[in-house]
Structure 1
Amino acid sequence: MSIRNEALQKLMQEIGQKKAFSEQQLLIVKQQKAAKNRETRMLQLTANEVDSLPKETKVYEGVGKMFVCTPIPDVQKRLVTESDALKSELANLDKKEHYLQQTYDNSKSSLEQVLRAGGI
């Protein structure tokens, strides 16, 4: 009987660790998504400001410790490229979040099932 209890405790410990790890990773992914959403919003606001400028306006971009005059179409192209990259990263984070949420839910239900079946 003690072998069964030891195996049950080991199983519960493994499932508990997997659940805790998934929960921790899920929190990290949610924070990363929030940061990417903020970056996306900043790019949208910047693009709106650049679009509202007259075509002859001089636009400067920071390069290291200096600023370089850049044509408006080049700035717009860079903003679109960065926005597309962020969308791709957000899609990957969504997939990762879904996987981690599933792992967490499965671990949680497995743990509850073991507790009900084991009578601990």
Structure 2
Amino acid sequence: SSFFCSLALLFVKRIERYYKSSGRPLFLRRKNLDPLSLNDLARVSQLAFTELQAKVIDTQQKVKLADIQIEQLNRTKKHAHLTDTEIMTLVDETHMYEGVGRMFILQSKEAIHNQLLEKQKIAEEKIKELEQRKSYLERSVKDAEDNIREMLMARRAQ
């Protein structure tokens, strides 16, 4: 019970630190927590611990999803590059057809070349965005794991 009280106070300190750094008004003041019983503080710290664990799991799943999306975009980019390389070996007067739904549209070699380059460019931009998001998520997982370790160390210290 005293372990969870110390965790609750640690959690409150982290909340205060977060709101000070973000510049948002703090809705939870420490003086409001002082009259709480030990059981209430224990419940708050148990909830905080559970929320941190859930956050870690959720964020790890998002990291895996980002990895899958990056792999898929890399395949798309590679496919477009290989297709473009193959098309560029053909003579300029070659008839080329683009598949649209269940029909094919006659296109010039230059138009298809430009479409493939655009496809590669879009895939590259999306990959960069996903990698940035993935690095943010990995930092978030690391921070949450550090918070969990800190809570466990506080428990061992008592």
What is the TM-score of this pair, normalised by structure 2?
0.71
1:31 is aligned to 68
Based on CA coordinates, which of the two structures has the bigger radius of gyration?
A: 2
* Match of residue 58 from structure 1: 95
Q: Give the counterpart letter for 2:44 in structure 1.
A: A
Q: CA deviation at 1:68?
A: 1.6
Matches within 5 A, 1:1-120: 1=2, 2-3=38-39, 4-119=41-156
State the percentage of identical aligned residues. 22
Which digits, 9 at most, give the CA deviation of each residue in 1:36-85, with x for residues without a partner? 11101100111101111111211111122111221100001111111111
The answer for unaligned runs of 5 or more in structure 1 is none
Q: Which amino acid counterpart does residue 74 of structure 1 have in structure 2? A: A
- Following superposition, the deviation at residue 30 of structure 1 comes to 0.8
TM-score normalised to the size of structure 1? 0.92
Say which structure, 1 or 2, has more relative contact order (CA 8 Å, 6+ apart). Answer: 1
SS in 2 for 1:57: coil
Structure 2: 5+ residue stretches without partners: 3-37
- Inter-partner Cα distance in structure 1 for 2:117 and 2:78: 13
Shift of 1:109: 1.1
Partners of 2:75 and 2:139 in 1: CA distance: 26
C-alpha distance after superposition, 1:12-32 (max 9, x if no partner): 111111111101111111111
Count of residues in correspondence between the two structures: 120
